Amino acid sequence: MAARKKGGAKKGGAKKGAKKSSSAKRGSAKKGAKKSSSRKSAGKKRSGAKRTPNAAFMKPMQPSEQLSAVVGSSPMPRTEVTKKLWGYIKRKGLQDPKERRMINADENLRPIFKKDQVSMFDMTKLVNKHLS
């Protein structure tokens, strides 16, 4: 009987060693899975919750004289100024036909942009200087 116990111990020891190596592999897989699942759950939380508008964007601002020729003279939020400016650009066809990111300035936009052509990304920076 003693021989059986020894033989059983050897078999059991070999199995334990195999389990350790496979469980070590599984442990690293579990860690990776935990990271990805936590990212997914965090993303779901963000997308499910409604964003509150930034108060700085919603504060009515007074456009300068040059800008009021394009968007109007009443105080309005920066988001509304940008919408009206884009409406003006579309109505007048001021987007460059080949390079759609570029906006060609007309007589009303030249005092604001101080160039004949600006990028749509630079446009908001230049317009913000004309809001107080």
Partnered with residue 104 across adjacent β-strands are 117
Q: Residue 66 corresponds to which tokens in the numbers above?
A: 């040059």
Per-residue pLDDT at 45: 56
Query: Fold for domain 55-128?
Result: MDM2 (1.10.245)
pLDDT of residue 114: 95
End-to-end CA separation in angstroms for the chain: 95
Residue of higher predicted confidence among 28 and 59: 59
Name the token pair of 20: 């350790």
Query: pTM of the entire structure?
Result: 0.60
- Which DSSP string corresponds to 53-91? PPHHHHS-BPBPHHHHHHH-SS-B-HHHHHHHHHHHHHH
Q: Indicate the domain borders of the chain.
A: 1-47, 55-128
Which of 11-25, 32-46, 47-61 ranks highest by mean pLDDT? 47-61
Which pLDDT tens digit goes with each residue over 57-102? 889 999 999 999 999 999 999 999 999 999 999 999 999 999 999 9
